Amino acid sequence: MLTSNEVKEMLINIADMYIEKKEELSKYDSVIGDGDHGITMARGAKAAKEKLISMEEGTCREYFKAYGRTLVSTLGGAIGPLFGSIFIELSKACKGTETFDINELSDGIIDAEIKVCDLGGAKVGDKTMVDAIHPTAEALLKSKEAGDDLKAAIKKAVEAANLGVQATIPLIAKRGRSKYLQEKAIGHQDAGATSFYYFIKEMDKYINR
């Protein structure tokens, strides 16, 4: 279980991670995309970090909402609304609670998958971030139903997200610029799915610190 101050600290760590991985994520994207995914994620993370630091106090819901809305307002194209919706759905899951636990994490990611699919029109197998979000949502639901605590649940979520990323490697892309590459996209992991995996991995790093 995390307090609101811990959620804020975790989100700042997530922002720092995206800034640090700017080159790596752009490298993945350069093979089958526009090559600017890492730069875009880092720019959004920098703005989100500045917003969080400016907030002297807040609830778990307010911190997640601030991160998500900053991504939506800062980033152009589809990536802002798609990644921003993940944080916004997590904020909605925190309604009425002062802490962040397995229920909020599970409910938030499950709703985030629905929102991302609705916004982008992608489904599992299209070689997008949905391929990482879906198994993560399933793993978290199982953890919630099994009575796992947050620490155990996030560890299982990391494993599921990683498997989702690996599953994108042999796929032909059906969304975005990479869909025009057809078979040439095979053999490369999706940058969006990788970014989501790193998000879950950074949460695990903080929660199990």
Calpha distance 121→204 (Å, rounded): 28
Residue 5 has pLDDT above 70, yes or no: yes
User: Which residue, 70, 52, 72, is CA-closest to 6?
Assistant: 52
Q: What is the mean pLDDT of residues 21-35?
A: 78
DSSP H helices, the chain, are 4-20, 22-32, 37-54, 60-74, 79-93, 102-120, 130-146, 150-168, 191-207
pLDDT the model gives residue 181: 55
Structure tokens at 187: 């053999």
Tell me how many helices (H) and strands (E) the chain has. 9, 2
Q: What is the mean pLDDT of residues 46-67?
A: 97
Average pLDDT, the chain: 92
pTM value is 0.92
For residue range 74-95, what is the model confidence (pLDDT) as tens digits? Answer: 987 788 999 999 999 999 999 8
Residue 11 has pLDDT above 90, yes or no: yes
Residue 110 has pLDDT above 90, yes or no: yes
pLDDT the model gives residue 136: 99
- The domains found in the chain, sorted by start residue, are 2-207 (1.25.40.340)
